[in-house]
Structures are given as structure tokens and as C-alpha cells.
Structure 1
């Protein structure tokens, strides 16, 4: 008496005779001997698997929770069923071990910013598991790297501190720049004022020098008659003033007495006494 077993597409049947593997049957209708034989069905299709909340430690001793998804399929049904009591769990342990090793070699900041590289390194490390478990991992991806609550709080404090520091530096730079501009403006104004005053002083000095030069030139061009005339005019002014005493040497009296006008002034001054 024969039994009938239908193996679905993309599956394989493992026939066990009295508990021992005897042969493999493919998709379709297959015969077996009931009681003595049993057909174990193995799915060959790609299977997704999520590894949630796995904790790893980074190089700088930061705890990180990881969520990993992977896709695998069975390549060797015999190895998958008989050479390991739980090939899927063994695969999971292998993935977690490699992930722990990869992340343990890098710092937290590098781990959070380079998930693509971690994915690639993990895929290379896993390789082809067919020889060991009859499984091939087709795709592995780190969905999330989440630091622990204490690390997250510390990071947020650090970010706030960095922002406050940046703002303080920007404010200080702005104030320093404002002071620099104001000081430069004052210095420029002081220099401009000093230059203007210096230019005015030079101009006044030049004008005075020119005046003195012209006076010297004029005095150099006149003769003694001019000075005598000036002295006579002075005596005339003196005769009109309340002053009635003039002190001079004998020689000067003799010199001025020869001038008629001078003599007249002196006589007028004598009569007023």
C-alpha cells in the first residue's frame, strides 16, 4: 500500500524511512510507504526575519539597541534539517555575533553615521552559510541603531551645550567686531581731526612767515628818512597826548632838535608845562 504526498512548488520533501533519511523528492505528486516512511517538507522560498532589540556595546562603551532584518532561504534541505537542531537560531546567533564584533570596533558617533558600511561589513562577515547550516542570507539590513536612554540624554545635553557655546561665541565675535568698528571709527576721526589741525597750524605758520618776510623785505628796502618820518609822527602823536614828559639822552635831543617839526613839538611840550 502506497501513500501520496504532494510537494508544493518551491518546496522539497525529505523522505525518512524508519526515522532515517533516505531520499529527497521534488515538487509534485510523490509516493511513499505509510507507517514505514514519513515525508518532511522544507520551504525553499525566501523568508524574512526581524531581530529586534539586540543590545551591543560600541568601542567607547556606549550601549546601543539594534533592530536588524534579514532575508534568507534554504539551499540544502538535508543540512538544514539534519545537521543542526535549529539552523535558523544558529544563523541568528551568528548574525548577532558578527554585528557585536563590528560595532564593538567603532565609536558611537561613527556607528550612528555609518549604518550602510555596517550593513556591508555584516553581509561580508556572514557570507554563505550553506556549508554550515544549509542557509544563504540574501539580504541583511540594520533598521535602527538607538542609544540607551542615558546616552540619548547625554547626547541631547551635549548638543544643547554645543549650540549655546556656538551662540555665545557668535555673540562675542559680533560684540568684538562692533567694538573694533567703533574704535576704528573713533581713531579715524581723531586722525582726521589731528591732520586738519596740523594743516591749519601749518597754514597759519606759513601765513605768519610770509607776513614777517614781507615786512622784513619792506624794511630792508627803505632808508633812514622813512624811520625819521616815523619818529616825527610819533612825536606828533605824543604832543597831542596828556603825556608831557619825554626822557631821552643828550645825543638824541641834539639829533632831533635839528628837525624843525621835532623842535616845534618839543617847544609845545615845554610851553604846556
Structure 2
């Protein structure tokens, strides 16, 4: 009875030693007497103790390998430090376990050599501006090279590109000069836009002012035309009213004389008297004289007019003149033809 219990206990211990539980996202590579036997997927498994063993635990998750900076030389002989990040996962656990002794170290060295080859074909400026191109080329090369190791490379990224200090200082100066240039261009563009805006504003102001002056001139001309039209309409209505009132020529003559009186108020230097108006005035003066309303003082036509004083001859006095000249000057010459 005791021996049976011991045998059962040994069997139970062996079974416990052979139980393997594989987590999700992992696989176990099992060897049978040192030779590959199977790959255990996630779940509950039992192996034979002392005959079978788990040779390697492999993660099927995507892994990130951040490699330290590597010194590379560009085509124009510039030495700089570049560190890379590789995203990969195990595609074949058997190849991953038996394809390379240290797959991660092999991937690191392969990444460094591939990076040196690619950067060595580019100059410094191209290296700084061609990250995507370098990343895609490295991913293709690493993926093909790691297929025998059971590794699938998903992405490769250049994390940092560190040029020498002299290059960094020159790049900083270049960047500062570029920023100053852009600032100058922006200021010039701003002044240009401001000048254009001011010119457009002045133009609009002049246009609006001209339109306002035009409208004002049109309004003034319209007002003057309307006032002239109203004046002429009033005069026409006045003439029509005079016609309707049967005004005779005497009233019209009086109106003409009143107009003549206004014209001769002393403000005008010249007065043009119409012929019919002058005739009418003479006729009216004659009639008033006949009726005794005018000035009836008789004019003496026989009155002796006072003799005018003889003007002195500015040329010479009478004593200096000759006999003939004195004869004509005294009026003693007789015209025999008379």
C-alpha cells in the first residue's frame, strides 16, 4: 500500500512538471531530446518531463528596438550621429529560435551597416531632407535580410540626425539669415499692401468727391433751370394777362419809360435807347408842350452869344509872325471868289 502511494505521488509530480500554460501573444518552442519537436500556441499543454523541454519563449507582439546613435559619413565627408528605431515582430518562431544566435544584435548591426551605405550616397543637405526616402529603403532592405531569421520588419525611423557642432552653428546662422529674409519680405509685402490699400482709399475718396460734385452741379443746374423756367412762365402768364386785359399802347409806353428810367439811374456807362422808344418820348414831350404841362419858356434866337476868348498861339507871338501870317491871323483876308 505504501509503495502504491509512492508511485502515485511520483506520477502526480511528473504530470505537474509536464504542464505548460502558454499566455496569449506568446508561443513556446519545444524540443524532444534536443531536437525541434513543436511550437505550442496559447493555451494548456502537457509535455513529457526529462524528454521534452521548452527551448524558447517567443513573443508574437510587435516590438520596438531603439538602437544607439551610429557614426556615419556623408558623400561630402561630413561625420554625424544617427540613431534609428526599428519596429518588428516575429513571423516564424522556429526560424527566430534557430535562424540566428542573437537576432536582435544581428538586426542592430544590419541596421547600422545599411544606414551607412544609404547615407554614404547622399550629401548633408540631402540627408537632412530625405528622411522618408531613407526610411523606406531601409525597411525594404532589412525586411528582406531578416526573413531567414523569422523576423518581419514593419517600420524603420531615423530618430535623430546630429551633425557636428561647426555644421550646427553654420546651420543656425543660415536659419537666422533665412528668418531675417522672410521677415524683410513680410514687412515689404505689408508696406506694399498698405500702400495699395491707401491708394485704393484715396481713389475711392476722389471718385466719391467727384460724384458728389457732379450731383451737386446737376442739382444746381436743375434748380437754376427750374427757376428760369418759372420766371419765364411767370412772364408769359403776365403777358397773357396783359393781353386778356386789353392793354393799350399808352400803358405800354409808360412801362417802357419806367424801364428807361431804371436804365438811366447812373450805374450804367452806356445806355442804348430803342428807336421806337426815343420817338415815343419825343412825341410825348411834344404833346405835353402842346397841352401846357412842359417848360414853355421861349428861346431867344437873336441873342448875341458871348465871344470866346482868343486862344494864344503856342507857336509864337504876333510880333514874331510875318506880314502874310499876321494878315490871315487878323481876319483881314478877303475871299475874292465870294
TM-score normalised by structure 2 residue count? 0.46
Equivalent of 1:54 in 49, 72, 75: 72
Residue 284 (structure 2) aligns with = 256
Unaligned runs of 5+ in 1: 1-9, 13-22, 31-43, 242-246
Q: Closer, same or farther in 2 for the Cα pair 1:62/1:173, shift >3 Å? A: farther
Runs of 4+ aligned residues of structure 1 deviating over 6 Å after TM superposition are 23-26, 44-47, 61-64, 71-74, 234-237, 247-250
Query: What's 1:215 paired with?
Result: 235
C-alpha separation in 1, matches of 2:159 and 2:214:
72
> Are the equivalent residues in 2 in contact too, given 1:75–1:136 (CA < 8 A)?
yes
Q: Answer whether contact 1:51 1:69 (CA < 8 A) is retained.
A: no
- Secondary structure of the structure 1 residue equivalent to 2:69: strand
Q: 2:138 aligns with which of 122, 131, 135?
A: 122
Q: Give the match for residue 34 of structure 1.
A: none
Q: Is the 8 A contact 1:257 1:263 kept in 2?
A: no
SS at 1:173 equivalent: helix
Task: Check 1:56–1:211 CA distance in 2 against 1; reply closer, same or farther (3 A cut).
Answer: same
Q: Is the 8 A contact 1:68 1:142 kept in 2?
A: yes
Map of 1:60-79 to 2, 5 A cutoff? Answer: 66-70=82-86, 75=96
Higher RCO (CA < 8 A, seq sep 6+): 1
The runs of 5 or more residues in structure 2 that have no matched partner are 1-26, 38-49, 51-57, 267-272, 300-338
Q: What TM-score does the superposition give when structure 1 sets the normalisation length?
A: 0.54
C-alpha separation between the residues in 2 aligned to 1:236 and 1:70?
Answer: 120
C-alpha distance in 1 between matches for 2:156 and 2:107: 17
Within 5 Å, give how 1:166-181 maps onto structure 2: 166-181=186-201
8 Å Cα contact 1:64-1:146 kept in structure 2: yes
Q: Distance in 2 between matches of 1:62 and 1:212?
A: 101
- The answer as to 2:143 corresponding to 1:143 is no
CA RMSD of aligned residues (A): 5.3
Any residues of structure 2 matched to 1:1-273 within 5 Å, and which? Answer: 48-56=66-74, 66-70=82-86, 75=96, 89=109, 91-98=111-118, 110-111=129-130, 115=131, 118-130=134-146, 134=149, 136=151, 138=153, 140-146=156-162, 148-149=167-168, 150-219=170-239, 221-222=242-243, 223=247, 224-231=249-256, 252=280, 255-256=283-284, 267-268=294-295, 271=297
Q: Contact conserved, 2:84 with 2:158, CA < 8 A, in 1?
A: yes
**Aligned length in residues:** 220
